[in-house]
Structure 1
Amino acid sequence: MLPTTSLLCALSLAALACGYPGTLEDRATLVTTSRFNATCHQIAAAISNASEVFYPPSPQYVSDISHTYASSSQASICSVEPGSADDLSKILRIIGSTRTPFAVKGGGHASNPGFSSTRGVQISLARFDKTAINSTSGTVELGPGLTWDQVYTALDPAGVNVIGARIPGVGVAGVTLGGGFSYKSNEYGLSVDNVVSYDLVLPNGTITSVTSNDTDLWFGLRGGLNNFGIVTNFVVKSYPQTKVWGGFMFYPPNQLAAVKDALVRYQRKQDIKASAAVLLNYGSGQLLVGSFLFYDAPVPPQGLFDDFLTIPTTSKNISTTSFADLILLFNQLNPSPGSIRNYFCGVPVTQYSPAVFDAFVNQTKFWGAYLASLDKNATVGVTLEPFDSGVFSHGSGSAYPPDRSQAIFPSVLGYTWTNASIDGIVASAMRKESAAIHAVALADGQNVSHAAVYVNYALFGTPLEDIYGQNVPRLRKIRAAIDPEDVMGLAGGFKF
């Protein structure tokens, strides 16, 4: 007896042969479905017992296609969980030969539609979930199916840490291939500055290891996302980790001016162990104002954060704790997954001057009120995150950042909503808000006319030149040499 999926495939082909009475669009959909199904079965026949193909509505399939935000998920024909690099090589060869659209999902936190989801074959890296400490070399091996909170929790008992994401639920793969700002970046640079090697399956299925000796691929993988194949293992530098100090503070709306002054003054203090961010969020007719403070030691120097700490608060959760537990605090703030839709949009600036801060506030209020009139569940948020002036000095040339000569504060807009019919309106609003703040920064005398948007904050449709600057021609050349058949072009994302 044929499995249900095989039977559906056979029936689809039979319907075509007998003159399916639907519209041309229906027939095209049926042909596409049959072709994608055939690819799924070809993969299932080729892979070993270490890997598996799943179909709807199995729980594994649902998990494989699910993302943090509903706007990022799509219903693929099947999902496949490779359990070895060899099987992943076979999968890529089949996908390339059949020209089947596909997507690769690590943590599933990507908010751009179609960047890690597909209507074709969904590859989930869930089985690449190893965390291995090598105390002799001072490195850690990380699987691309891990999230950073899983990594921090695993490393905590050993008293070591790595340079990764700042909130839970974010995947190792996306951050490490996109740049990677961390609370420890002022000390040690970006995630891309701390990679020692990549285990990579090239678009043609070749399995290789990439180090700094591989000049072009080394350059491209460090910020170039999924353009050069699929990484199955990251080897990254590790550092000793003590207890840390930090947490959230939230303030009454009438303290907004004091928060602005605190942020402006904080930027003048150069302490590479410190990090601070201001959070603004407009929803339900109110502006929420908060801060997140971090110090990479059990206790910060006296006076460092006083400008924030002396402001009256509505709530406060700051303590000496483990790095892993500090990151998990964000679970108290994140919206519940499921029906929530979300886009991110980066707005690079070189400082949060009073004028730029006011622009962020005014734009947040304006677009928050506008979108609330279309969707009562809509919120408009922004995170203002200053970094040390030497944050880009810890590494060498890489795809991102294209310019290491000046520090860029990435700044991220984060919009959430539930009404799918306003997706286009939300994206347009984000672009308008970003443009308005960019204009204020320029008028403020900031050197941001060509400031690179942080790739993991870049909204879909952002021109490549706005992310990778003068690196675009070189990245296109590398891509053409590595992937002449454009296999990775069958997946979504920013493509060179």
Structure 2
Amino acid sequence: YEKDISHWASSSIQHSTCTVEPGTRTPFGVKGGGHATNRNFVSSPGVLITLYRFNEIKFDPASQTASFGTGPIWDDIYAALAPYNVSVLGARVTGIGVGFVLGGGYAWKSNQYGLALDTVTAFELVKPDGGVVTVTEESDSELFFGLKVMKLSFAGIVTRITMQTFPQTNVWVRFCSAIYRNTTVHLPDFPGWSAQFSAMITDPKANIAASYDCLATVPFATVFLYYDAPSPPQGLFDDFLKIPSHQSNVRERSLLEHITLPPLRNATTNIRIAADTVPILRYTEPVMRVIEEEKLKWCVKELAVTGPFVTYTAEPFLPTMLNHSTLSSAYPPTRDMAFSPFLVYFGWLDEAMDNQVINNVKESAARIRQAVIQDGQNITGAPKYPNYALFDTPVDEIYGGNVNRDPSNVMGLAGGFRF
């Protein structure tokens, strides 16, 4: 320490809080909202850079854009924009950081406007050489392409994002859940109705997220019904509204109020998590039945050993969802066909069970993938959704032919999918 602070002129000496002598290539992590499910993606045994103080949020009424640092969560963004009656394409539940955009971003408005990344107009980027640049399609189209989607392992550290805003009214939502009386009896036809909604819906303002869950060996199902206006057209959600629900909450509310409803309020925080995904063209009834069967199977097999929960969430989107942008992006590698995301994730408490649970997640995801293929859906080469993909997913299963855009691995000491 004394050597480090010493100077030729003693009048130049100051007692620093600490000194650093770089001597090794040290792994580092970059953490925004901290919602990543993969260890070492935004955490690190070396140096951790946290972005909490990059928290400024601005709305520009002239350009109808919002600009914000990468430290906040979407709750903060929605709250800041609410007085202007606008919103952006952000997370669909509470507690998620704005880095969600860098993983693609399926939002409640995606059927209307595309992925969240499709609405980005600029990134502020700190490059590996320390330079700070604003990256747009006009200033550097290749780098702008690569930042969509970088997942924190390409090009540097994003410190600010500028996105298009869209008019935001109150929204209509319903959360309903029903408990299985035992593992051999189905609920009212959740799989069939979810499949029918997925096949028939054409209204871009309508969304559902159908979740098949098990908590402490008690199986249940939940459906989130969402309409991006104060009320939906008559008859749109009739099948679901007939369900005798254990819990139900339906009315007009603000977008922020919606995502912070109790069922969406960080219900699984502070638990060990492993997640994976399967790209799905169509949520058909056979596929939905297999998803339900997997939930029931692991409810018995998994939770008796590891606990406390398993969750499978079907998120159908319109096949036209990717048609709203003419700009290319690292993800998806092709826009010829739109795949809906699907999430399987298991939660447990004991670190000693890590490998077993991760393997269980892989096994279950593989079973569902096989069911999708047997259903006649061609998902060969279909990209996995980066925000849901397990840590050891080969990068070509996410980025396809775009992998060669970063051959030098300039950010290899940081976490994320390795190019």
Cα distance change of structure 1 residues 333 and 288 upon mapping to structure 2, 3 Å threshold: farther
Deviations 1:15-73, CA, capped at 9 Å, x for gaps? xxxxxxxxxxxxxxxxxxxxxxxxx7339xxxxxxxxxxxxxxxxxxxxxxxxxxxxxx
Matched, 1:282 2:207: no
Q: Indicate conservation of the 8 Å contact 2:94/2:266, yes or no.
A: no
Q: How big is the shift at 1:283?
A: 2.5
Moved more, 186-195 or 329-338: 329-338
Supply the distance in 2 between the matched residues of 1:363 and 1:134 (Cα, whole angstroms). Answer: 47
2:249 to 286, 308, 317: 317
Matched, 1:206 2:169: no
Deviations 1:237-273, CA, capped at 9 Å, x for gaps? 0011111000311124356352122112111110001
Matched, 1:137 2:63: yes
1:339-418 superposed matches below 5 A: 340-375=271-306, 377-395=307-325, 396-418=327-349
* Matched residue type, 2:134: S
Supply the distance in 1 between the matched residues of 2:336 and 2:382 (Cα, whole angstroms). Answer: 11
2:261 to 329, 336, 341: 329
Q: Indicate conservation of the 8 Å contact 1:168/1:330, yes or no.
A: no
After superposition, the CA RMSD in angstroms is 2.1
In structure 2, the partner of 1:177 is 102
Matched, 1:465 2:410: no
1:56-455 superposed matches below 5 A: 98-173=24-99, 175-213=100-138, 214-226=140-152, 227-253=154-180, 256-267=187-198, 268-329=200-261, 334-335=266-267, 337-338=269-270, 340-375=271-306, 377-395=307-325, 396-455=327-386
Q: Indicate conservation of the 8 Å contact 1:251/1:313, yes or no.
A: yes
Supply the distance in 2 between the matched residues of 1:275 and 1:150 (Cα, whole angstroms). Answer: 23
Cα distance change of structure 1 residues 152 and 416 upon mapping to structure 2, 3 Å threshold: same
Deviations 1:455-480, CA, capped at 9 Å, x for gaps? 0000010111111112212x234xx3
Deviations 1:70-97, CA, capped at 9 Å, x for gaps? xxxxxxxxxxxxxxxxxxxxxxxx7xx8
What SS does structure 2 have at the residue aligned with 1:176?
helix
In structure 2, the partner of 1:490 is 413
* Matched residue type, 1:357: M
Q: How big is the shift at 1:330?
A: 5.1
In structure 2, the partner of 1:46 is none
* Matched residue type, 2:346: Y
Supply the distance in 2 between the matched residues of 1:197 and 1:334 (Cα, whole angstroms). Answer: 30
Q: How big is the shift at 1:336?
A: 5.3
What SS does structure 1 have at the residue aligned with 2:160?
strand
More RCO (CA 8 Å, sep 6+): 2
Q: Indicate conservation of the 8 Å contact 2:94/2:264, yes or no.
A: no
Q: Indicate conservation of the 8 Å contact 1:176/1:191, yes or no.
A: yes
* Matched residue type, 2:195: V
Matched, 1:41 2:8: no
* Matched residue type, 1:149: D
Supply the distance in 1 between the matched residues of 2:384 and 2:390 (Cα, whole angstroms). Answer: 9
Supply the distance in 2 between the matched residues of 1:144 and 1:224 (Cα, whole angstroms). Answer: 14
Moved more, 365-374 or 455-464: 365-374
Supply the distance in 1 between the matched residues of 2:285 and 2:235 (Cα, whole angstroms). Answer: 22
Compute the TM-score of the two structures, normalised by the length of structure 1. 0.77
Q: Indicate conservation of the 8 Å contact 2:33/2:97, yes or no.
A: yes
* Matched residue type, 1:384: A
* Matched residue type, 2:330: A
* Matched residue type, 1:453: K
* Matched residue type, 2:412: G
Q: How big is the shift at 1:110?
A: 0.4
Supply the distance in 2 between the matched residues of 1:155 and 1:333 (Cα, whole angstroms). Answer: 20
Deviations 1:419-461, CA, capped at 9 Å, x for gaps? 1111111111111111111111111101212211100000010
What SS does structure 1 have at the residue aligned with 2:146?
helix
Gaps of 5+ in 1: 7-39, 44-93
* Matched residue type, 1:325: E
Supply the distance in 2 between the matched residues of 1:259 and 1:168 (Cα, whole angstroms). Answer: 25
Q: Indicate conservation of the 8 Å contact 1:368/1:378, yes or no.
A: no
Q: Indicate conservation of the 8 Å contact 2:71/2:98, yes or no.
A: yes
Q: Indicate conservation of the 8 Å contact 1:278/1:292, yes or no.
A: yes
Supply the distance in 2 between the matched residues of 1:310 and 1:129 (Cα, whole angstroms). Answer: 43
Supply the distance in 1 between the matched residues of 2:166 and 2:298 (Cα, whole angstroms). Answer: 42
Gaps of 5+ in 2: 5-17
Moved more, 132-141 or 305-314: 305-314
Cα distance change of structure 1 residues 333 and 150 upon mapping to structure 2, 3 Å threshold: closer
Q: Indicate conservation of the 8 Å contact 2:95/2:266, yes or no.
A: no
Cα distance change of structure 1 residues 493 and 431 upon mapping to structure 2, 3 Å threshold: same
* Matched residue type, 1:433: S
Q: How big is the shift at 1:215?
A: 1.7
Q: Indicate conservation of the 8 Å contact 2:93/2:264, yes or no.
A: no
Q: How big is the shift at 1:378?
A: 2.4
* Matched residue type, 2:101: T
* Matched residue type, 1:408: F
| Percent of aligned pairs with the same amino acid | 39
